[in-house]
Amino acid sequence: MSENLGAFEAVKSWASFGGRQRVLRHASAACGGPMELSVFVPPGDGPFPVVTYLSGLTCTAMNVTEKGGFQRVAAELGLIVVCPDTSPRGAGVPGEDESWDFGTAAGFYVDATETPWSERYRMWTYVTEELPPLVDAAFPTKGPAHRSVFGHSMGGHGALVVGLRQPEAWRSISAFAPISAPSQVPWGEKAFTGYLGPDRERWRAYDATELVQRGAHPEPILVDLGTADPFLDAQLRPEPFQAACERAGQALELRLQEGYDHSYYFIASFMEDHLRHHAARLGA
């Protein structure tokens, strides 16, 4: 007998630490086509709070699902973990597969305003408006007041922006190696120019360093970076965000982890810390 998963179609499913890890597919109105994601539901009847993880450049939902090591701790804490994809797939936009840091797997969690990207590349709306109610309808969640967000690299940028723009909707924020000042680094400049156009005023809505100066999140933000991360100085540049948090009175725990790089070995090493950070604020 098939499960009733609402708008979702089950692609794969595994038992994991007493809970259930699923890969799902659904038709996305925001992105104009099919999207896949993974959802881990812990053991028990619930209801459970939800933590959404946003992945980085080149990734699908499966990178963190298979390498992040979150299932054991999420099962213990009673957390649903939702992992969306990083962009539409096969959207047919000319040039979307020409480079690894723009287009497919590089949606940057923005709603594109420039043609031809604006029709399908609407990851902001997908993550913040479309996906949460679909998850609530399909799984035993505690509902809109019990959500948190975290992510890695491009997804760390996404998590900071989502949480800072919608502090009433996301209880807590954390990030691994985030692109926290995207308007000031090559990855962000390339993505924002392509998706949003050359007017830098439009970029401010998706730049955590700009956003935190407009209003702090009520909870401390946890950020981990590795000292051996090859992108630390050129692309991640945590200093502008750290300084902006200090000016804005935003509580920030920024930890430089000695010898760690940008990989999932780094993420898996500190995943438990991040999940416990969120669980404490979600009442899990």
Catalytic residues: 153, 229, 262
Handedness of CA 49, 69, 271, 190 (dihedral sign): negative
Write the single-letter amino acid at 129: E
Angstrom CA distances, 58 to 91, 93, 151, 193, stand at 16, 17, 14, 19
DSSP of 259-271, one letter per residue?
T--SSHHHHHHHH
Place of tokens 């996404």: 158
The H-or-E segment that residue 179 falls in is: none
Q: What is the DSSP letter of 98?
A: S
The SS3 call for residue 241 is helix
Joined tokens for residue 266: 């780094």
Question: Beta strands 9-16 and 50-54: pairing type?
Answer: unpaired
Angstrom CA distances, 220 to 52, 80, 153, 176, 201, stand at 17, 21, 19, 15, 27
Q: Which of 222, 277, 278 is nearest to 48 (CA)?
A: 278
Q: What number of CA atoms fall less than 13 Å from residue 238's CA on the CB side?
A: 22
